[in-house]
Chains A and B, each alone.
Chain A
Amino acid sequence: MDIVVLVKVVPNIERVRFDMEKGTVDRSSAESEINPFDLNALEAALQIKEKFGGKITALSMGPQSAEGVYRDVFARGAERAVLLSDRRFAGADTLATSCTLSEAIRKLEHFDLVLCGEKTTDGDTGQVGNEVAEFLGIPSLYYVSMLGIDNGNIYATVELDGEKLVYKVDTPALLSVTKDANVPRLPTLREKLEARKKSVEIWDAEKLGGNTERFGAKGSPTRVAKTVVPKEEGRKGSIYRDVKEGIDALLSVLEA
């Protein structure tokens, strides 16, 4: 079972500072990391590989400066890592990103499954997985909260509107897993050391056939026209520092 895992390197969103005037993120203010949701996709890939054998290829798009952090995928079980990096890929929205990623997947010799996380912490759209599936013309399942393997079959559970739906997954397919799907294991020191010996393949626009109209800002139908810092409206409420007084006030409000 050959698996492609989509991975993104993102700033640590809990720590990153915002330039409120420019409405941008000061990426130097926090370390980069692998998008936490993608670790669940990597773990799922690893579990499937353990049962079926095969090869895990991590695929990412981003600046070459992301390579250092991205190498972590080797320690987490990927045999191969491809980083799509080219100035012509820059400024891509989800459609251009998905188009670029799917072109790269077509360039791989073979794949059975594409796995991805539910969303990224920085973009927070959750759109790329299914756009990639559509470009590849393969079926997909989103919000997979459990993956089971039984009798050589893969079963994916999706919870939707108070129902639990279990599907048998036929390949090729794309699955997007949630944080509930598994607990990503931590790489051992040895795995980390081994990972240092491996290298990330860098692919540019030429490698992907050079149809640059579809990539980056040029291939992106959406753009951010401006960013606004929301006004702190707040409410001028009654805040009680005396607990008894506060309780009395609340009780009379709650009664109403």
Chain B
Amino acid sequence: MSVLVFAEMKGKEIHPVAFELLGKGEEISKELSIKLEAVVFGGDESTAQELIDYGAENVYLYEGEQESCKECLSSLATEIKPEIMLFGATKFGRALAPRIAASLNAGLTADCIDLRVEEKEFIQIRPAFTGNILAHIKTRSTPKLTTVRYRVMKPAEKRKREGRIIKKESSVDIKKSFPLVKREKIESIDIQNADIIVSGGRGLNSKEDFKMLEKLASLLGGVVGSSRPLVDDGWISKDHQVGFSGNTVKPRLYIAIGISGSSQHLAGMRNSEMIIAVNSDPSAPIFRYADYGIVGDLYEVVPKLIEGLEQKVS
């Protein structure tokens, strides 16, 4: 009986969502008086030790490719019978967890933003209907599978800890995957790890005006984000999208330019440390979530801000 965290690897590194899962997993496992364990594919003993330092008591370490971890993970779950299995709601985790759930005939809850124990019962909280409602979900199967949003929970504290590393053999069912014929690097931004984000919304008149936001972002050392409509219209690629159906972000500074603040957008950025909003409509919901706001035409405000910042730099 344990809380088992699937620690996703991103190249040779552990994806930081795993540390958040261990943080929450520690809380849950204590309340249920069960162990906290982790499983990782690829990586080495130092990877496993890192997971221990973040709170895992046991780490199941598999050699081999993470891409083909499905069979191993299902059989590990059958062997060690975890009570709860936590996955990051990354693209990889979201695609993997349903296969594990179906193979174990277990319940799976998507995209949770909080987990807790109430009267010895595991409760999963997820936004429903574009974040207008929070659903509290209970699962009656064992294990209970959950995917958890990246960047909404606090990571576990890292300190020197003792734990057990259990090495496992990978058995790969090659029949169950497709031949990879091409693999290439592409340009994309890692908006979830950005410190400063300058986002544009429907207030922008044209695609070209993102250049203005890029300028502001680069002066501040940040990256450009976007609300959903502009991504849907093809003005900017999806890796820039902030919101419920895009990326959840929690930067030190979030500047919303010409974004009214639909619940769909707020769900992705309301936990930013500082929020600045520029919008011509004083009743725009974004102002209720902003620490600072300017009611005005973004085409007047943004150039003046850029000018002011440039003067300070020079």
Q: Which residues of A contact B (CB under 8 A)?
A: 13, 16, 18, 23, 25, 93-95, 98-99, 122, 124-135, 139-143, 155-156, 159-170, 173, 179-180, 220-230, 232, 234-235, 237-241, 243, 246-247, 249-251, 253-255
Q: Can you pick out 5 interface pairs between chain A and chain B where the beta carbons lie within 8 Å of each other?
A: A18-B129, A130-B98, A161-B92, A168-B178, A240-B292
Interface residues of B in 174-226 (CB under 8 A from A): 175-188, 190, 220
Query: How far, in angstroms, from A223 to B121 measured CA to CA in the complex?
Result: 13
Chain A interface: which of B26-34, B42-50, B57-65, B303-311? B303-311
Query: What is the interface of chain B, defined by CB distance below 8 A to chain A?
Result: 10-11, 91-92, 94-95, 97-99, 101-103, 105-111, 123, 127-141, 144, 175-188, 190, 220, 232, 238, 245, 253, 274-276, 282, 287-297, 300-301, 304-305, 308-309, 312
Q: Are A163 and B185 in contact (CB under 8 A)?
A: yes
Structural contact, B176 and A139, CB atoms closer than 8 A: yes
Q: Nearest chain A CB to B38's CB is how many angstroms away?
A: 20
Residues on A with C-beta less than 8 A from B220 are 254
**Given A131-B99, A168-B181, A237-B290; 9 other pairs, CB 8 A cutoff:** A130-B99, A131-B98, A134-B103, A139-B175, A221-B140, A222-B139, A234-B288, A235-B291, A238-B291
Pair B123/A225 contact, Cβ less than 8 Å: yes
* B98 touching A237, Cβ below 8 Å: no
Residues of B within 8 Å of A240, CB to CB, are 292-295
Whether B98 lies near A134 (C-beta < 8 A) is yes
Q: Is the CB of A168 within 8 A of B179?
A: yes
Nearest-CB residue, chain A, relative to B125: A228
Q: If A163-B183, A239-B290 touch, does A134 touch B99 (CB 8 Å cutoff)?
A: yes
CB proximity of B284 to chain A, nearest CB, Å: 10
Which of B94, B111, B144, B294 interacts with A250 by CB under 8 Å?
A: B294
A227 to B135, CA, bound (A): 4
- A126 with B94: in contact, given A251-B308, A251-B309 (CB under 8 Å)? yes
Contact of A166 among B140, B181, B297 (CB under 8 A): B181
Measured between beta carbons, the chain B residues less than 8 angstroms from A129 are: 98
Cross-chain contact B136 with A124 (CB below 8 angstroms): no
CB pair B101 A127 closer than 8 Å: yes
Known: A166-B183, A235-B288. A25 touches B305 (CB 8 A): no
Q: Decide yes or no: A167 and B179 within 8 Å by CB, A131-B99, A142-B94, A235-B288 being known contacts.
A: yes
> A254 — which chain B residues lie within 8 A by C-beta?
220, 253, 309
Say yes or no: A232 contacts B141, CB within 8 Å: no
* A125-B111, A134-B102, A239-B290 known; A225+B308 contact, CB < 8 A: no
Q: Check B111–A95 contact: CB distance below 8 A.
A: no
Assuming the contacts A125-B111, A250-B276, asked whether A167 and B136 have C-beta atoms less than 8 A apart, the reply is no
- Given A124-B128, A129-B98, A131-B102 in contact, is the A222-B183 Cβ separation under 8 Å? no
Identity of the chain B residue whose Cβ is nearest the Cβ of A11 in the assembled complex:
B129
Complex alpha-carbon distance, A13 and B181, angstroms: 38
B102–A130 contact, CB under 8 A? yes
Which residues of A sit under 8 angstroms from B103, Cβ to Cβ? 134
CB <8 Å contact, A124 and B309: no
Inter-chain contacts of A93 with B (CB < 8 A): 107
Whether the pair A23, B108 counts as a contact (CB closer than 8 A) is no
Least CB distance from B239 to A in Å reads 9
Rounded to whole angstroms, the CA-CA distance of A135 and B102 in the bound complex is: 6
Residues in B whose Cβ lies below 8 Å from that of A228: 133-136
Whether the Cβ atoms of A243 and B291 lie closer than 8 Å is no
Residues of B within 8 A of A140 (CB): 95, 99
Shortest 10 CB-CB contacts between residues of A and residues of B: A221-B107, A246-B294, A134-B102, A221-B141, A130-B98, A125-B110, A142-B95, A166-B182, A222-B107, A239-B293
Given A126-B94, A166-B181, decide whether A13 and B130 contact each other with a Cβ distance below 8 A. yes
Contact of A127 among B10, B108, B133 (CB under 8 A): B108
A232 CB contacts on chain B under 8 angstroms = 288
Smallest beta-carbon distance A239→chain B, Å: 4
